[in-house]
Amino acid sequence: MATQTTPQNVAEHATQTRQLKSRGLQLLGLFGSQNEPQALLRLPSGRLRRVSAGEQLSAGRVLAIDPQGIILERKGTARRLVMPGS
């Protein structure tokens, strides 16, 4: 079986360097159906967690998940987390 390497131009287009912060809550991915979207988050502790709308995190309650990211509400203030590099 032959081993193939990724062409340099493909690797450059597929790789985003320095897009994730080393600390804090990070949105890593969005997936699921349009009716039941989910998000993959990296928590400040470094652990990964899959969340759905309505779930409670230490950073706030997940109000919504849409194709642009997730909306968190904490103490009456909403904020959006977007995909790194977008």
- Cα separation, 10 vs 25, in Å, equals 29
- Cα separation, 81 vs 58, in Å, equals 15
Are 15 and 85 in contact by the 8 Å Cβ rule? The answer is no
pLDDT digits (tens, 9 = 90+) for 20-50: 555 789 999 999 998 999 999 999 988 999 9
- Look at 17 and 59; give whichever has higher pLDDT: 59
Q: What is the mean pLDDT of residues 11-15?
A: 63
pLDDT at residue 56 above 60? yes
User: Whose CA is closest to 38, among 28, 25, 51, 48?
Assistant: 51
Q: What is the mean pLDDT of residues 45-67?
A: 95
